[in-house]
Structure 1
Amino acid sequence: MRTIFTVFLLLSFFALDGFSQRRALRTAESHIDNNRFTQAISVLQPLLVGEDVNREAYLLSGIAYLSVPGGSERALELFDIAIEHYPLEDKPSRRALEARFYKAQALHLDYRFEEALGLHTELLEVIPSSEGDLIEAVNREIAYGEQALYMVQNPVPFEIQTMGRAFNSSHDDHSPVVALDESTIYFTSNRPLSETEREEGQYFENIYVSYWRDGAWTAATPLELPGNYYGNRATVSLSPDGNSLFFFQNDGAIGNLYESRLEFGEWTEPIPFPPPINSGYNESHASLSLDGERIYFTSDRPGGYGGKDLYVSHLLPDGFWGEPLNLGPEINTPLNEESPFLHPDGRTLYFSSEGHASMGGYDIFSSILDDVDGEWSEPTNLGYPINTPDDDIFFMPTPDGQRVYYASRQPDGFGSTDIYLITFPSEDDRSLAVVASHIYDENKMPYSDAVVRIYDQENELLQGIYRPNSLTGKFVAVLPAGRSYRLELQTEGYEPFEQVFTLEVRDVYGTRNRATYLEPIMLKRGE
């Protein structure tokens, strides 16, 4: 404590000079504008020491604390002091209005919705008509508050549990990407990779992986990708066969989508998605359909409805991606939409939005594609406490819909955004199931050079074509439950294989008794 106290005294001594204070305030404001809130706090803390404190330091410190995990209580204290120094006059200053606006935001994040609504309502009465952007922001916050009151009074029934220290840390852990059979989870964390990073305080986002082994998740480790990239990378999606990982990469002033493939246990050199997916603007999230022929993604390219919008592109017969189509005003709003996830049913889209009926910032919504007219249904808020007054962005349900892996900032977390598992009531019937098996050759070694086709036994319709993992020989399929299927396998040099199996409606699916694992397929040499 003594060292910190000494540093503060020295800094505050130099900061007493008016020019130094103004320079520090502008530096802190720049940090806030660029979302570097921790750095802003470091710059501002010395300015809060002493008797003659610049009132702007209280306001900017409150804004910075409001944007860091667990900072809302300290932010409220600072806003109260700022409000004392910024009285409302006949012509209130912008700073006086902002102090009250941000205090109301802090109250909202603290679940004090009625107090926040009262303060916002009072603000509307005194904001000059010339402050159109602030009036719009206050009206939006009022809508958030009213929606929050309703949602908290009508919670969604489910169980939520933390994924524990195997995944979570005191830093941001988010964007879980889960294999269809729930055997592997990739996620993003900005925890320091080295002691050098820890000392410098500059933590890039990196991709981590954990495996389900012997009834528990292994401690997460950084995913090793080829190359010497030094910057932010974040998980986006996983191909249905688990052999392609899609992720976001920060390339200077913009962000692009990349793909790396798992070949014989090693990840290939990451390759950026070609145009027209990557556009020279920011593409931050993506989700691939089960058949690999549609990709839904986020972009802030021109021509949208405002901010970040959701787009879809179809795979053309020549193997290239077609021109992206904006999902339209039913999905996109003048504010931001993020993190699309297309359910394996091919019709249900989950995404986050600031612009629909949210209880604060980003909330998670779902919309269903009409098979007849191709239109999306009106988005439905997934409810509280899945959604919170804070930003809720990444949501990945399992194919049977009974579990969801997602990231949220909860009161009992490890310090910042953590990864959680949601389980819905067992009577909540879902229609899809995960089926998996392994293929071995005559030497009992994993075999991957095979093609698996699965047909509906009743109508003979092909359900899908699957290829095994190159290292493990495992293939995974997602099928409607309550039906019988015929599996056919063909590969050169071996006898054809055929198997009939049935998926009961109320079977319990997935790893840890959540997936239906067929008996391993042992290939026999052909004559």
Structure 2
Amino acid sequence: MKSTIHVLLSALMICTYSSLDTTDPAKDSVDDRNKSGYTYTVNISKINSKYSEIACTTFRNKLVLVSSKKIGGLGNGVDPVTNEPFTDLFCTDIEAYGKLSQPLLFSRILNTKANEGQVAFSPDEHTIYYTRSTRTNSLNYKLFKAELEKDSYGNWINEMELSISSDDYSIENPHVSSDGKHLYFSSNMSSGFGGFDIYKAEIKVDGSLGHPENLGSTINTSEDEKYPHTSKDGTELFFSSKGHNSIGGYDIFISTVTNADYKIPRNLGYAVNSEKDEVAFIFIDHKKGVFSSNKDNENNAFNLYRFQSRAIYQELNGIVITEDDRILPNATVVLLNGEGQEIERQVTSNDATYSFKIKAFEDYQLKVVKDGYKDYSLKFQSEESQFKAILKLSSKVSYNQK
């Protein structure tokens, strides 16, 4: 005769959070609207003019931007929509802390008498995706691509309009993901949720685009969403929106991307956003970048701002004990991200405690492994100031009886 005795034990994991004070609070204070998980130090750029400067992306360690300034520009006239001259593409050298030199025309091949919009490059910088509107219909941008002639400094060839362009809607703000697999853009095509929405399309081997995919109602609202920009590792999407309870006009938001799923957008706070418009937030490297805002310009033109970001981390401390208050040393506690990928693991010490450094406002999972017990896991978000949970670990002991 065989019988199995199941002994159910439980472990209480008490988790408390405390911020790691490793930054200068005068520079890195976090206001109550900043839920991004970062602090930002912001300075206005010295290259601004009386006209708008809006950043696009980087190319060969230069910042490419769209501006109405006419330093060597092509054509003349004023766009009746913006009351500024028609725009051209410019570029500027990037120096320490994102300091920028005075801009020069980016390309006399791509700059025309029309309105030049934002551009994006493939990871190898051999393909450019660019937008352009005519003088007679400056609100309707169409999407083009061109290739960089081999061994040339800047001779763009094989220019062509892409098939997703239309006279019925505008395509703006292209951005290529760092892996080169997707082109993000904004559009007011009729399939959206209202106004401009953010879309992405697969980039095929030949550089053509697949069918556009709307990012969905978590990102897009009945208001306008524009200027998508993804982090280098693809885990974060930054964009501008008039929705999501913005402070005013366009605010810049961040959404965590997990398994191709976009989490609820979070505001970057008052260090970046204002009651006016903030747009075109892009990273130059992993922590430095630029964005544009009309908050300090009486003519409502967009000025360029430089920023440095700093991730906010918290200390996650805990202890593993049994249901009858016995501590469990030598238990393995594994910290995983929202996608279930392991970040770090620790073996509890003699007092059964552990400690992890985690990023604010992110999804995590804790997994406990102990010989004689079943594995147990718990999902949580790091935005809570305190966190307590009982993790029940079960042990099975078999006895053979005849």
Normalised to the residue count of structure 2, the TM-score between the two structures is: 0.59
2:304 to 415, 419, 427: 419
Aligned counterpart, 1:456: none
Aligned counterpart, 1:172: 52
User: Conserved in 1, the CA contact under 8 Å of 2:185 and 2:227?
Assistant: yes
Aligned counterpart, 1:191: 69
* Residues 228/270 of structure 1: CA separation in 2 closer, same or farther (3 Å cut): farther
How far did 1:204 drift?
A: 0.6
How far did 1:267 drift?
A: 2.9
* Residues 347/427 of structure 1: CA separation in 2 closer, same or farther (3 Å cut): closer
Query: Helix, strand or coil for the counterpart of 2:33?
Result: helix
Q: Distance in 1 between matches of 2:37 and 2:180?
A: 36
Is 1:378 aligned to residue 261 of structure 2? no
Q: Distance in 2 between matches of 1:293 and 1:277?
A: 20
Give matches, 1:58-457, under 5 Å. Answer: 151=33, 157-165=39-47, 168-179=48-59, 183-193=61-71, 197=76, 203-212=85-94, 217-226=100-109, 229-251=112-134, 252-253=136-137, 254-263=140-149, 264-269=152-157, 271-276=159-164, 280-316=168-204, 320-371=208-259, 374-400=260-286, 402-411=287-296, 416-425=301-310
Q: Output one character per residue of 1:135-172: Cα deviation in whole Å (capped at 9) or x when no partner.
A: xxxxxxxxxxxxxx9639x997432122213xx11111
* Residues 236/382 of structure 1: CA separation in 2 closer, same or farther (3 Å cut): farther
Q: Distance in 2 between matches of 1:346 and 1:311?
A: 15
Normalized per residue, which structure has more strand? 2
Normalized per residue, which structure has more helix? 1
Q: Distance in 1 between matches of 2:225 and 2:300?
A: 26
* Residues 347/272 of structure 1: CA separation in 2 closer, same or farther (3 Å cut): farther
User: Conserved in 1, the CA contact under 8 Å of 2:39 and 2:311?
Assistant: no
How far did 1:358 drift?
A: 0.4
How far did 1:279 drift?
A: 7.1
Q: Distance in 2 between matches of 1:346 and 1:273?
A: 27
Q: Distance in 1 between matches of 2:78 and 2:70?
A: 9
Query: Helix, strand or coil for the counterpart of 2:162?
Result: coil
User: Conserved in 2, the CA contact under 8 Å of 1:260 and 1:267?
Assistant: no
How far did 1:233 drift?
A: 0.4
Query: Helix, strand or coil for the counterpart of 1:361?
Result: coil
User: Conserved in 2, the CA contact under 8 Å of 1:365 and 1:379?
Assistant: yes
User: Conserved in 1, the CA contact under 8 Å of 2:148 and 2:157?
Assistant: no
How far did 1:287 drift?
A: 1.1
* Residues 428/388 of structure 1: CA separation in 2 closer, same or farther (3 Å cut): same
How far did 1:361 drift?
A: 1.2
* Residues 155/409 of structure 1: CA separation in 2 closer, same or farther (3 Å cut): farther
Q: Output one character per residue of 1:321-352: Cα deviation in whole Å (capped at 9) or x when no partner.
A: 22111111111111111011122212311111
Q: Output one character per residue of 1:192-241: Cα deviation in whole Å (capped at 9) or x when no partner.
A: 34698489986111111112479974321122232783121022323323
Query: Helix, strand or coil for the counterpart of 1:394?
Result: strand
User: Conserved in 2, the CA contact under 8 Å of 1:256 and 1:272?
Assistant: no
* Residues 369/206 of structure 1: CA separation in 2 closer, same or farther (3 Å cut): same
Instruction: Indicate the RMSD between aligned Cα atoms, in angstroms.
Output: 3.7
Gaps of 5+ in 2: 1-30, 315-402
User: Conserved in 1, the CA contact under 8 Å of 2:143 and 2:164?
Assistant: no
Q: Output one character per residue of 1:249-281: Cα deviation in whole Å (capped at 9) or x when no partner.
A: 003432112233333112314734422366742
Q: Distance in 2 between matches of 1:341 and 1:291?
A: 13
* Residues 317/394 of structure 1: CA separation in 2 closer, same or farther (3 Å cut): closer
Normalised to the residue count of structure 1, the TM-score between the two structures is: 0.46
Q: Distance in 1 between matches of 2:78 and 2:66?
A: 21
Q: Distance in 2 between matches of 1:315 and 1:375?
A: 19
How far did 1:407 drift?
A: 0.9
User: Conserved in 1, the CA contact under 8 Å of 2:143 and 2:162?
Assistant: no
User: Conserved in 2, the CA contact under 8 Å of 1:367 and 1:379?
Assistant: yes
Gaps of 5+ in 1: 1-148, 430-527
User: Conserved in 2, the CA contact under 8 Å of 1:187 and 1:234?
Assistant: no
Query: Helix, strand or coil for the counterpart of 2:258?
Result: coil
How far did 1:310 drift?
A: 1.2
Higher RCO (CA 8 Å, separation ≥ 6 residues): 2
* Residues 286/227 of structure 1: CA separation in 2 closer, same or farther (3 Å cut): closer
Q: Distance in 1 between matches of 2:205 and 2:284?
A: 30
User: Conserved in 2, the CA contact under 8 Å of 1:156 and 1:385?
Assistant: no
* Residues 418/202 of structure 1: CA separation in 2 closer, same or farther (3 Å cut): closer
Query: Helix, strand or coil for the counterpart of 1:332?
Result: coil
Query: Helix, strand or coil for the counterpart of 1:302?
Result: coil
How far did 1:414 drift?
A: 10
Q: Distance in 2 between matches of 1:164 and 1:228?
A: 24
* Residues 301/272 of structure 1: CA separation in 2 closer, same or farther (3 Å cut): farther
Q: Distance in 2 between matches of 1:210 and 1:170?
A: 17
Q: Distance in 2 between matches of 1:266 and 1:260?
A: 11
